[in-house]
Structure 1
Amino acid sequence: MSDAIAVLAEYGADAAYEAGLRAQVRQIIAQSFSPPPDLTVSEWADEYRVLSPEASSEPGKWSTARVEPSRGIMDAFADPDIEIVTCMVAAQTVKTEVINNVAGYHVHLDPCPMLILQPTLQMAEAYSKDRLAPMIRDTPELSAKLGNAARDSEDTILHKKYSGGHITMAGANSPASLASRPIRILLCDEVDRYEASAGKEGDPVSLAIERTTTFWNRKIALVSTPTIKGASRIESSYEESDQRRFFVPCPKCGHMQHLQWKQVRWPDDKPLEARYHCEYMDSETGELCDHAWSEAERLKAISRGVWIATRPEVKGHAGFHLNRIASPWRALGEMARDFVLVRKHPERLKTWVNTRLAETWEERGERANPDSIYGRREEYDAAVVLPFGVGTITASVDIQDDRAEIEWCGWGADDESWSLDYQVHYGVPNTPGFWEVIDSALLRTFQHPAGVEMRVEASCIDSGGHFTQHVYNFVRTRMARRVYAIKGIGGPGRPIWPVKGTVNKAKNVTIFVLGVDQAKDMHYKRLEIKEPGPGYCHFPLAEHYDKKYFDGLTGEKAVLKTDKKGFTVKEWHKVQQRNEPLDLRVYNIAARLSLGLNMERRLMALRVAAANAMNAAPKPITVVEETVQAAPHAFPGRRRVRSRGVER
């Protein structure tokens, strides 16, 4: 650096510029050799941090004691023996404020270059505006350092300079933001939501870590709620760590234990009265403590908790796992109530496990047993009358070179479904008569027991085969009937039904791109449901619903594989030659999601129509010899009365 100054002096550099450069050199030397701050991160937060009203339910001065589990996590960043910090934690517990406090600590007491990495650039901007900016504004020590950033031409929403360092916010989906500036403190938030690769550059976490290699005192943090077992970044990192858990004492026996969902119990149908039960068993007598903690006792136990490494032999990598049972923000009964509400919904239960228990979701039964589903078929004939629970109808069409396969599906409360009919129409898709048959099929109506004729409200037609243009021609004039041209795309994270369609201006048509992997996940989870109710799939005793149909309905299985970059990915592989029933069910799921339908209101209207129809029916004539016969598929409560040859 002194050589650089000498060169500037030799060539007549401006005196003010030279003085500024000398000041920078002195600052760098001072930072390099100065002792670390006396305060830990939690002590700094207790002393200086102020919570903002728009970012906290309890604005005002920060208190680590209010959320005791955060203490050990924050202080790991001040431990010189720890280089990597992994936090696999429940949503809405401690993770965002931990990141904020670590950033604030370094801005104030230990200036250095920092990078806060979010899943996307949009999320990075939102974090900067909604979390970082209010913290800077309301914490005086930070506003003194960063408060003038808006007047600095080099500062932006995603880049904040201060004396001795900067905070950069970036998106894991942006290669450019991961390929500049050396970083000493790397804070990666929600890593399980990152794309597998930042463009074509590779793993975004690895790219970001590369930027820390020049710092001997670097800190790398990976923070997230987990997702799928075997494909979760945060779980993989936690398993490599010293695996710390938050242990709390039982209020009665004092036994230290980390809080587990299996110890939470409640009286039948009263989840709000849930209590945590001590796990301790006396090894000599076999006697259980089983003390049921009151809510006050649970909160007191949390306040006395400590982090204990379950793999202390691992050095330099601190891993923290924390579920919402250890959170003071929500009562245990509310968590139990939420569980009761989602336990019969596989998709919602998965989210609950990830966000409340901070555990990965293990995919099971990726190929349901076709024989067991075949064996549970039911006696109903939708061609005569619909099952009463149906509130809307969708259809799906799969176009092959010599035929079209069509399935109609009825949907009820909580996406309970009824397969209504399955037909195969043979013909060549480039002939007008072929599409007349398809049009007639999609205009088909069904009789509801409430006396209402129901039509198909949304239809999906696959446009990915050899007759794409013919599909486009067909749907172009039928969009008002919600007849959609769709194309299925695999890959994680893609929504089943897109936010909006993709407009092909050249073809004058809108195509809807489906996330078929997500739909298959949903479909297989629903097939696992054993009892009628939310998500359950009903199938009729009908000609087309034979064993061949159910083989096709379960015609693929999910396989976890490691890709070329070392990531675990899920791939769907055929286990049957023909899988049209599976494809059609995926398209019907998408068609159902396309409908912004208030199902509860729809079903209520059908119940009212049914009641009105019953009240308007004429009373039967009373005769001595009256024969009552049950009408096949009649709405329960109605009957046919034969009297003297007259049916009423």
Structure 2
Amino acid sequence: MAKTGAERQQDWRDRRKAAAMRDRAAVAPRLPGVPAAEAPAPAPVDLLTPRPAAEAPAPGQRYSEWADEHLIVSAGRKRGQRWKTLAWQVEPVDRAGAGGAIVVLRCASQAGKTSVALVVGAGRLLCGEPVLVVTPAARPAGSTFSRERLEPLLASPPLVRYLHHERVGGLARSSSLTYRTLSTGGSVSVAGAESPSQLAARGASCVLADEIARFPASAGREGPPIPLALERTADWRETRSVLLTSTPVLPGDAMDQWYSSGDQRHWFVSCSCGHAWSPEWKHVAADPPAIVCPECGRRYPDGPEHVNLVEGGHWRPTSDAEDPEVISYSLPRWLSAASTLRACVTDRKRAERKNTLAVWRRTCAAVPSDPDPSEVVDVSPIEARREPMDHWPPADVSIAFGGTDVQADRLEVAILGFPRDRSWSAVLAYHVIRGRPAYAEPWAKLQKVLDGAGVRLCAIDAGFEPRPVRLLAQRDRRVVPIRGMAGDGRMPIEAPAPGGKSWCHVVGADPLKRDLLQKVDSGWLRLPRAPWCTSSWLRSLTAEHEERVERAGRVVTRWVVHHRRNEAMDACLYALAVSNLVPAERTGRRRRFVRLAS
């Protein structure tokens, strides 16, 4: 008689149980002359005590020597090759690996500063210690670091042999962005500098903070993020490893403050005449590219002579440290063997033509710089057109639309009002709602704002936190989820196809930006003399400008950001986009494409 499905499943369970019992009996320790049934149970395994790996740095061993012997390059054009520590990287790697000091590395972009952090983190993980990586924001900076830097490192020898392949939590759901453990007892977690809960989630003996010049001034309401992260190392005060790296941005930012508190070491090279100096840009000749000795005038052209010169250098303090625990380093790109003098000279000439010398000074010379005049938009004409609050909002406003830009710790909402004929628009109000968008509190406050302003429709960016935006859209028919897409050929706004998988409207960012900037310049967008409508807010409203460049023989358009905050621009863009939608088009019963009203 054929067995039923339930009987076959029970037989399968019995076979699996018997196989598991045979496996346990086969691996159980047995004493000579003692039957298997009487063999003692295996000793419990201590999962909390660190068990350094065989490839871990030995006590007292220099991390640079250990890395050259054991590590494999995990990403980039040299992926799969044996790791080779550059001459300038040796001392920062060894100082950070030895622990007991705060190492600050102010370095040009693409010179190898993040590789220093990865080497130190890999050594600490193999020694069975917890590592905390801090990025400017959980998303996208933290997710990008995890995907492009951390995961390839963990998947490369020797760490891959000790990696627990299960992920604790997920990128979208865990309070800590990434948390991975090794069988050595080590663990690594990635946290955003804007989140005090992520910074305080767990202790760490090693803190690696990347791009600290772009850290927010405060992690929520709890103060600067770097001191909060250092509090996590209290149990390892004498042996902790702290490495702060960044490309400089502005004078007085976090990187500038930490670098100035140290002994400010520079990379000195020695000429054949015996003169030792730290080459500045004035010591670099442009045609042909070469470093020139200021004492004897000898030229070290691009190529082997330049590489031999910089690889034979050494670090030298140039100032007395304000904090004896801080050791700070500064390295421009032309003193790294990973770059060429020709590339530095080409970037300098391009910056002079484009009036972007401030960007070049930050990314190539590794010095903080105030924005160039060309990077600062003159908003005084727009500021002069602001209207008094006595007659605000305008009496002709008949309908209002909202746009919400979602950030890691807040929502920024712009309310735009229109007359019946849509001949102009006015920014009626602008609200900043504090709170993490993963929680319900800021969304409840947003609904109160929409109720008070009588908003007909409100577009909300769903690219950062899609789940709460989708839930809110299901409850509130005024909410229009959107995603911004770049490209000249896109429609300003496109509704999702009926019956399709997409549930968001797609906003063509490029045509909307052109339209908004034109309306701001022409006075079509009216602004009040409100406390929030300051010159800084107006720069945020005009934070980007269009630039046409030639690439691969054709002219393409790119948008250049010249102000560090563009939330006002995005929020007004979304409100302008949603003003062209009606409820019938949201349900898919009308045409799919909606053009901007003229």
Q: TM-score range by the shorter chain?
A: 0.5 to 0.7
The counterpart of 1:261, out of the listed 267, 275, 281, is 281
Does structure 1 residue 117 correspond to structure 2 residue 126? no
What count of residue pairs does the alignment treat as equivalent?
400
Question: Secondary structure of the residue that 1:399 maps to in structure 2?
Answer: coil
SS at match of 1:307: strand
Alpha carbons of 1:477 and 1:193: their partners in 2 closer, same or farther (altered >3 Å)?
farther
Q: 1:435-475 CA deviation, whole Å, 9 max, x = no partner?
A: 9xxxxxxxxxxxxxxxxxxxxxxxxxxxxxxxx98x6023x
C-alpha offsets along residues 168-211 of structure 1, whole Å, 9 cap, x if unaligned? 11111111111132211111111111111111121111111111
Of 166, 185, 207, 1:150 maps to: 166
Q: Deviations over 1:101-160 (max 9, x none)?
A: 11111222x221111111111222221221111122222x201111x3327789986111
Partner Cα distance (1:171, 1:592) in 2: 24
Q: Secondary structure at the match of 1:134?
A: helix
1:593-604 alignment runs, 5 A limit: 593=544, 598=548
Of the three residues 5, 10, 20, the one matched with 2:44 is 20
Indicate if the aligned counterparts of 1:396 and 1:587 stay in contact, CA closer than 8 A: no
Does the CA-based 8 Å contact 2:57-2:66 persist in structure 1? no
- In 2: Cα distance, 1:79 partner to 1:245 partner: 21
Match 1:326 to one of 335, 351, 361: 335
1:225-374 aligned at under 5 Å gives the runs: 225-230=247-252, 232-250=253-271, 252-267=272-287, 273-280=288-295, 289-296=296-303, 297-311=305-319, 315-343=324-352, 345=354, 348-362=356-370
Call closer, same or farther: CA 1:253–1:482 in 2, change over 3 Å.
farther
Distance in 2, matches of 1:275 and 1:482, equals 58
* Alpha-carbon distance in 2 for matches of 1:583, 1:178: 33
CA change 1:292–1:181 in 2 (3 A) is same
In structure 1, the residue matched to 2:122 is 104
Q: Distance in 2 between matches of 1:234 and 1:593?
A: 25
**Relative to 1, partners in 2 of residues 1:39 and 1:60: Cα closer, same or farther, differing over 3 Å?**
farther
Corresponding residue for 2:109? 91
Aligned-pair distance for 1:274? 2.8
* Corresponding position: 1:400 with 2:388: yes
Distance in 2, matches of 1:151 and 1:600, equals 44
* Residues 52 and 128 in structure 2, CA contact (< 8 A), matched pair in contact too: no
Letter in 1 for 2:44: G
Give the conservation status (yes or no) of the 8 Å contact 1:487–1:511.
no
Cα distance 1:292–1:477, how it changes in 2: closer, same or farther (>3 A)? farther
Match of 1:76 among 95, 101, 104: 95
Match of 1:320, as an amino acid? Y
1:159 to 179, 184, 190: 179
1:224 is the counterpart of 2:231: no
Question: Which AA in structure 2 matches 1:73?
Answer: P
Match of 1:631 in 2: none
1:42 to 2:57 alignment: no
Question: Deviation at 1:94?
Answer: 1.5
- Cα deviation for residue 597 of structure 1 reads 7.4
* Maintained 8 Å contact 2:213/2:249: yes
Measure how far apart 1:315 and its partner are.
4.3
Gaps of 5+ in 2: 1-39, 398-413, 433-446, 462-528, 556-598
- In structure 2, relative to structure 1, the CA distance for the partners of 1:396 and 1:592 (3 Å cut) is farther
Residues 298, 184 of structure 1: CA spacing in aligned structure 2 closer, same or farther, 3 A cutoff? same
Q: Percent identity?
A: 25
SS in 1 for 2:44: helix
* Secondary structure of residue in 2 paired with 1:91: coil
Matched to 2:240, the amino acid is R
* Deviation, structure 1 residue 37: 2.5
What amino acid is aligned across from residue 273 of structure 2 in structure 1? C
1:130 maps to 2:148: yes
Q: Distance in 2 between matches of 1:302 and 1:160?
A: 37
CA–CA distance in structure 2, aligned partners of residues 597 and 508 of structure 1: 35
Deviation at 1:483, TM superposition (A): 5.9
One-letter identity of the residue aligned with 2:215: Y
Find the partner of 2:455 among 497, 507, 528. 507
Residue aligning to 1:180 = 201
1:39-85, Cα deviation, whole Å (9 max, x unpaired): 32111211111113xx21222333435x32111111112335x4211
Scaled by the length of structure 1, the TM-score of the pair is 0.53
Number of the residue aligned with 1:472: 417
CA distance in 2, matches of 1:75, 1:48: 15
1:409 counterpart residue number: none
Q: Residues 184, 477 of structure 1: CA spacing in aligned structure 2 closer, same or farther, 3 A cutoff?
A: farther
The structural deviation recorded for 1:263 is 1.5
Distance in 1 separating the partners of 2:371 and 2:167: 51
The residue aligned with 1:170 is: 191
Distance 1:129-1:589 versus aligned 2 partners, 3 A rule: closer
Contact 1:396–1:584 (CA under 8 A) maintained in structure 2: no
Structure 2 CA distance for aligned equivalents of residues 315 and 361 of structure 1:
26
1:61 aligned residue (65, 81, 85): 81
